[in-house]
């Protein structure tokens, strides 16, 4: 059965993603409240004020709902069952493990930075806690990337693997953009969330590829 982990080059790829994601999060964290970041955030939010339409609002709400913690944990459980049916018992735990880590680091980071959410736009969805990093962007990156990796390990058919990854990356981007559109996050919150989520996903997959046996 096909397994991406059989390619030694993949380990370096995912480790690189982890480092790049961690670096993006660190840069975002260190530049919070600087003049140029505040200007970027304010410009984007101000532009959105005159470009919200009913159809996009509906799409954004539905999209953002895909990446709350409960939804992604449930999706990870379903994936675990499917992967277990393909005799990938330990691999099936990868998305669940990544989501548990993502939830933990999200709460820690929000408590550490304590950034207020934007108040320049009407919120079009419910939001709680602090703003940085965006939890939905973090969960989307950590969850959808590890789900795509796990599911792509059970097929060697190229178009299926490409489809899985295209959907996963598209969802990661769409969820992050939806949080800004709905008015509950600054753009820099989403960038930080994407970075931290990629760090979690890349790190988890790199560990799985480095220390877990291919044969299960």
Question: How large is the average pLDDT for residues 131-141?
Answer: 95
Rounded percentage of the chain residues whose pLDDT exceeds 90: 59
**How high is the mean pLDDT of the chain?**
87
The DSSP result for 41-80, as a single string, is HHHHHHHHHT---HHHHHHHHHHHHTTSHHHHHHHHHHHH
Query: In this predicted structure, what is the pLDDT of residue 127?
Result: 83
pLDDT at 120 over 90: no
Note the pLDDT of residue 119: 85
What is residue 90's predicted lDDT score, i.e. its pLDDT? Answer: 67
pTM to 2 decimals? 0.89
Distance, in Å, from the CA atom of 75 to the CA atom of 70, rounded to the nearest integer, reads 9
Confidence of residue 166 (pLDDT cuts 50, 70, 90): very high
Tokens of 80: 């675990």
* CA 75/CA 73 separation, integer angstroms: 5
pLDDT digits (tens, 9 = 90+) for 87-101: 666 677 889 999 999
What pLDDT, on the 0 to 100 scale, is given for residue 86?
67
Instruction: Indicate if the pLDDT at residue 216 is higher than 60.
Output: no
Q: What is the pLDDT of residues 40-59, one digit of tens each?
A: 999 998 898 888 899 999 99
pLDDT cut 70: percent of the chain above it: 89
Could you tell me which of 142, 143, 112, 145 has the C-alpha nearest to residue 129?
112
**Do residues 195 and 138 touch, judged by C-beta distance below 8 A?**
no
């Amino acid at each position: 059965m096909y397994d991406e982990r059989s390619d030694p080059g993949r380990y370096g790829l995912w480790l690189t993603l982890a480092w790049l994601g961690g670096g993006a999060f660190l840069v975002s964290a260190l530049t919070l409240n600087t003049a140029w970041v505040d200007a970027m955030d304010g410009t984007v939010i101000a532009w959105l004020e005159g470009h919200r339409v009913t159809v996009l609002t509906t799409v954004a709400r539905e999209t953002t709902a895909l990446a709350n913690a409960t939804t992604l944990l449930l999706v990870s459980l379903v994936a675990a069952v499917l992967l277990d049916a393909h005799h990938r018992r330990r691999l099936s735990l990868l998305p669940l493990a990544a989501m548990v880590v993502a939830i933990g680091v999200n709460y820690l980071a929000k408590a550490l930075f304590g950034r207020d959410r934007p108040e320049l736009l009407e919120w079009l969805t419910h939001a709680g806690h602090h703003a940085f990093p965006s939890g939905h962007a973090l969960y989307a990156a950590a969850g959808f990337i590890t789900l795509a990796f796990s599911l792509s390990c059970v097929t060697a058919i190229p178009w299926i693997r490409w489809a899985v990854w295209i959907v996963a990356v598209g969802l990661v981007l769409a969820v992050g953009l939806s949080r800004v559109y709905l008015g509950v996050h600054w753009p820099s919150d989403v960038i930080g969330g994407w970075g931290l989520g990629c760090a979690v996903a890349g790190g988890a997959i790199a560990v799985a590829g480095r220390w877990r046996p291919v044969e299960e």
